[in-house]
Amino acid sequence: MIILGINESHGASACLSIDGKIVSAVMEERFTRLKNDEGYPYKSIEYCLKENGIKSEQINYIALSSESLDPLSIITRRMSYFSVDDWIKEQKEYWKPKLLKGKHPDYYKIFSYKIDKEKHPWYYDFSEFENQNDWSDPNIFLTIRKKLICKHLGVKEDIIKVVKHYTSHSYYGFYGSQIPRKPTLIFHAESGGDGMNASIMKFENINKGLEYIYLTDKCFLGRIYKYVTLLLGFLPGQHEYKIMGLAPYAREKYIQRSLKVFKETLQVNNIDFLLSEKLSDCFWYFEEHLRGHRFDDIAGALQRFVEELIVNWVKNAVKETGIRQVVFSGGVSMNVKINKLLWELEEIDNFFVPPSGADESLCIGATYKVLEDAYKKGQIKNFNDIEPIKTTYLGPSFDDKNVRDAIEKKNIKNQYQIIDNPSPKQIAELLAKGKVIARLKGRMEFGARALGNRSILANPSFPKIVKKINEQIKSRDFWMPFCPVIKADREKDYILNPKNIKAPFMTIAFDTVKNKQNSIFGALHPSDLTARPQVLKKEYNPEYFEIISEFEKITGIGVLLNTSLNLHGVPIDCTPEDGLSTFLNSSLDGILLNNSLILR
């Protein structure tokens, strides 16, 4: 059975499943080079089919995530193309008049200057909307979306199965997780999609599949985090992780004042979220009530507020159901500090967060829903043929000819040293000396985390390495931590994981072993010394593992510092050309492109 999954929300993406296994998955931004790109993932679809030699007529089902999407967000590329000033303008000229003054401002007119079809094509035929000057009917857009799929792929509409946004998140949470297929609670929380923003599902047995316990539109945690991010001067939908990174620097005695403001807006009662009528909106309310509060106090209070509510919500549901295996998905699941508190709960025996649980994974979640439906209809014989996400190496790869062509195009052959077929030992020796080396080799990772194939690597024990990467390469904020990749056989030497929680995808944080903190300081959060690790087994990525092993032989450290290969504000590099562009526009000491190591 062949299923094509499509997500047109921000982080637009596509995936392909063959006989229950996700064989390809990629985000549109990696091709368009527009961060968080949204809309029809044309190039991603083309890649998934071509990579696997699949023709349109071979597709059994198309899993389309989300019934309702905002066409105006897509044509303006709101989630990827808006600046902080644009987001503020939206609040002032659209949401404030609409929500607080009862007016009906024209969004299209306000942001017509952001529409550039030539630069950012959207593929849809929007003539029906344009003719009637009313963009508010989601049913019209759903029809347009289906017509585009049929036109692009030459398929009949009856193979398109639409899966609700929040359902896609939950199905990704369960079926994408590396957990035993036994009774499980599936939590999802996000800013919103298809009218809902949080849910609890349960899995008890293969005959019932996933069932809803709770579904709400009152969990405003994701939305509050989003707009407080804007209030602090960062891009909503992209920079929430910066607020999470800033939060540990806040002093306990000072966050209470800001925490009180947040606690007055939302509470948890048993498994219900109770939204205060005070909260008229998620921007102007906090702009007024947090006026005069320090930025770090706000960050610390916001993180504490969300942590406490999510932890209580999950704890109450576990107690109510008696189900002690838990998974978490949706945009809020990207918050690794929340995930740390969840796995530490006494009430939880096993916990997993699949890779990149924000909207980019909707295409996979929708695919899993269609696979479960197929199993219930007898179209799939074995339930366990629906495989979890075992690897994120699901994107494009490039051969040595692609690399040679890129080097020739950039005209750098005579400017830098090029070593053909460097050994893992050679690369490890450079890292041990304090060199910062990028690695672009093999299939690109799906989602927001670079896990070795599109990564920048460094020695975590060098005191000045973080400053060098932040200032000379990534142009990142000074307080942001990097992450460790840890050899699986050395995991217990570096992180405290008494429950043996699986952590292959950098989705969960852990406390670290005290006497090892100095040797891996560059890969820890500088304030609280926690880690968001990739625990790497050799079979997941043998060549990457071998580099760490050689580094360990030289230094005694079974860890490397890992961060994504890209410049700030740009998607993770995909092609050799992308990697060379990052190399040439930064102070990287070297970059491995397939089997060619380029050194300054």
Query: Average pLDDT for residues 220-224, to the nearest whole number?
Result: 98
Q: Please state whether 594 falls in left (phi above 0), alpha (psi between -120 and 50) or beta.
A: left
CB 268 within 8 A of CB 313: yes
Arithmetic mean of pLDDT, 70-85: 94
Q: CA nearest 226: which of 169, 305, 282, 267?
A: 282
The distance of Cα 572 from the centroid of its chain, to the nearest Å, equals 12
Q: What is the mean pLDDT of residues 309-333?
A: 98
- Is residue 101 domain-resident? no
Rounded distance, CA 260 to CA 248, Å? 18
Strands (E), 91-204: 160-163, 184-193, 196-203
Q: How far apart are CA 562 and CA 459, in angstroms?
A: 9
- Give the gyration radius of the chain's Cα atoms: 23
Q: Are 52 and 179 in contact (CB under 8 A)?
A: no
The total of structural domains in the chain comes to 3
260's tokens: 């009180």
Which token pair is 106?
Answer: 């024209």
Q: What is the CATH number of the domain that holds 416?
A: 3.90.870.20
Is residue 140 within 8 A of residue 128, CB to CB? The reply is yes
Q: Answer yes or no: are the C-beta atoms of 190 and 197 closer than 8 Å.
A: yes
Contacts of 330 (CB under 8 A, 6+ apart): 166, 169, 173, 187, 188, 189, 190, 198, 222, 357, 358
Q: Is 253 exposed, middle or buried (0-12, 13-18, 19+ CB in 10 A)?
A: exposed
Is residue 450 situated within a structural domain? Answer: yes
Residue-wise pLDDT tens digits, 478-523: 898 999 999 999 999 999 999 999 999 999 999 999 999 999 999 9
Residue 41 in any domain: the answer is yes
Q: How does pLDDT run across 163-207, given as a tens digit for each residue? A: 999 999 999 999 999 999 999 999 999 999 999 999 999 999 998
Q: What is the mean pLDDT of residues 38-60?
A: 98
132 pLDDT above the threshold of 80: no
The angle formed by the CA atoms of residues 208, 209 and 215, to the nearest 5 degrees, is: 105
Phi, psi values for residue 467, rounded to 5°: -60, -40
- Assess whether 11 and 76 both reside in one domain: yes
Listed residue (366, 22, 330) closest to 168, CA to CA = 366
| d(C-alpha 449, C-alpha 405), whole Å | 27
Give the H/E segment covering residue 456: strand 454-458
Asked whether residue 244 falls in the same domain as residue 287, the answer is yes
Q: For 385-425, what is each residue's pLDDT tens digit? A: 999 999 999 999 999 999 999 999 988 888 999 999 999 99
Whole-number Å distance between alpha carbons of 349 and 498? 11
Asked if residue 539 is part of any domain, the answer here is: yes
- CA 297/CA 274 separation, integer angstroms: 24
Which residue, 216, 447, 242, is CA-closest to 309?
A: 216
Q: Looking at the domain assignment, is residue 17 inside a domain?
A: yes
The answer to whether residue 30 sits within a structural domain is: yes
Q: Model's pTM, two decimal places? A: 0.97
Rounded to whole angstroms, the Cα distance separating 307 from 247 reads 12
Write the CB contacts of 64 (distance below 8 Å, at least 6 apart in sequence).
6, 145, 146, 149, 160, 161, 162, 163, 366
Residue 478: count other Cβ atoms within 10 Å of its Cβ: 9
DSSP 471: I
- Whether residue 455 sits in one domain with residue 335: no
Structure confidence at residue 475 as a pLDDT band (50, 70, 90): confident
CATH code where residue 273 lies = 3.30.420.40
Query: Which range marks the domain in which residue 589 is found?
Result: 400-599
Same domain, residue pair 162 and 238:
no
- For residues 290 and 409, membership in a common domain is answered with no
In which region does residue 274 sit, left (phi positive, over 0), alpha (psi from -120 to 50) or beta (all else)?
beta
Strand-pair category, 483-487 with 266-269: unpaired
**Residues 69, 141 contacting (CB under 8 angstroms):** yes
Residues 313 and 373 both lie in one domain: no
Alpha-carbon distance of 585 to 573, in angstroms, equals 13
Q: How confident is the model at residue 136 (pLDDT cuts 50, 70, 90)?
A: confident
Partners of 239 in the β-ladder: none
Tokens 């062509």 found at: 405
Closest CA to 384 of 11, 102, 21: 21
Q: How many CA atoms lie within 13 A of 334 on its CB side?
A: 27
Could you tell me if 454 and 565 are in contact, meaning their C-beta atoms sit under 8 angstroms apart? yes
The reply to whether 161 and 198 lie within a common domain is no
350-352/454-458 β-pairing: unpaired
pLDDT value, residue 127 = 87
Question: Would you say residue 408 lies in a domain?
Answer: yes
- What is the number of other CB atoms lying within 10 angstroms of the CB of residue 263? 16
Q: For residue 41, give the nearest of 121, 138, 155 by alpha carbon.
A: 121
163, 369 Cβ separation under 8 angstroms:
yes
Q: Are residues 190 and 319 in the same domain?
A: yes
Q: State the Cα–Cα distance between residues 304 and 243, nearest whole angstrom.
A: 11
- Asked if residue 321 and residue 287 are part of one domain, the reply reads yes
pLDDT at 135 over 90: no
Residue 37 included in any domain: yes
Same domain (yes/no): 41, 8:
yes
Structure tokens at 52: 């696997």
Residue 101 has pLDDT above 80, yes or no: yes
Q: Mean pLDDT, to the nearest integer, of 146-154?
A: 98
What does the alpha-carbon distance between residue 271 and residue 275 come to, in Å, rounded to a whole number?
A: 13
Are residues 235 and 191 located together in one domain of the fold?
Answer: yes
- Structure confidence at residue 218 as a pLDDT band (50, 70, 90): very high
For position 160, what pLDDT does the model report? Answer: 98
What pLDDT is attached to residue 152?
98
Q: What is the mean pLDDT of residues 256-281?
A: 97
Q: Where are the alpha helices (DSSP H) in 322-399?
A: 336-343, 362-376
Same structural domain, 409 and 446: yes
In this prediction, residue 129 carries a pLDDT of 85
